[in-house]
Amino acid sequence: MEPMHEISHYLPHRGTMLLIDRLLEWQEDHVVAELRVPASGPFHEDEGVPAWVGIEYMAQTIAAWSGNRARNAGDVPGIGFLLGSRRYLAHVQYFRAGAVLTVEARRELMGDNGLGMFACRILEQGTEIASANVSVFEPPDPMAYLENSKQPAQPHQGYRI
């Protein structure tokens, strides 16, 4: 495996919306990332970062998996979409500022249509503190997809019976 690069090498996220710090491990069906929970930022509250932000930590870890996959194929990381999650379970209400979290994502399904499902978990010092199944969508041509999504909706013509 080649040495890991700066996280921005794999993700399109920038600034305060880049929430994971580094890619620790990448395999064809598995990825591991790490982050230090910030003491300030868009999601920080007095108690720390709310546990629901863990979904975004998971999504960005999946995006890093996809970005590395793109880099390995000679492409640049593309745009993907978090569709949702199933069974998000957090054993904490907040991620403590300064805590180092490990985020793991294992690919369960990735269709040719860009739809994927990953089993994810967040660990602190080796103990699982959150888990979920995360659904994602990576369109084959993200720019065309975004342009088509800007088109105004057509009036409903009704149904013929």
| Per-residue model confidence as pLDDT tens digits over 108-137 | 977 777 788 999 999 999 999 999 999 999
Does 1 reside within a domain? no
Mean pLDDT for the chain overall: 85
151: tokens are 């088109």
42: tokens are 């868009």
Residue 20 vs residue 147, higher pLDDT: 20
Q: What is the CATH number of the domain that holds 121?
A: 3.10.129.10
Does 161 reside within a domain? no
Query: 9 falls in which pLDDT band (50, 70, 90)?
Result: confident
Of 13-17, 117-121, 131-135, 151-155, the range with the lowest mean pLDDT is 151-155
The 8-class DSSP code of residue 98 comes to T
50: tokens are 């709310």
| Cα radius of gyration rounded to whole Å, the chain | 17
Does 159 reside within a domain? no
Evaluate whether 6 touches 77 at the Cβ level (below 8 Å): no
- Digit-coded pLDDT (tens) for 43-92: 999 999 999 999 999 999 999 998 888 888 888 888 888 898 989 999 99
Alpha-carbon distance 154 to 104, whole Å?
A: 42
Evaluate whether 23 touches 4 at the Cβ level (below 8 Å): yes
Domain limits at 30?
A: 16-149
CA 4 to each of CA 22, 32, 84, 85, 104: distance values in angstroms, whole numbers, following the listed order: 8, 11, 28, 28, 16
Evaluate whether 7 touches 21 at the Cβ level (below 8 Å): yes
Domains of the chain: total:
1
Does 60 reside within a domain? yes
Query: Is 34 a residue whose pLDDT tops 80?
Result: yes
Alpha-carbon distance 37 to 20, whole Å?
A: 9
B/e letters for 10-34, b = 16+ CB within 10 Å, e = fewer, are: bbebeeeeebbeebeebeeeebbbb
Closest C-alpha to 57, from 26, 15, 101, 16: 101
The 8-class DSSP code of residue 73 comes to T
Query: 138 falls in which pLDDT band (50, 70, 90)?
Result: confident
pLDDT score recorded for residue 1 = 45
Query: Is 154 a residue whose pLDDT tops 70?
Result: no
Does 58 reside within a domain? yes
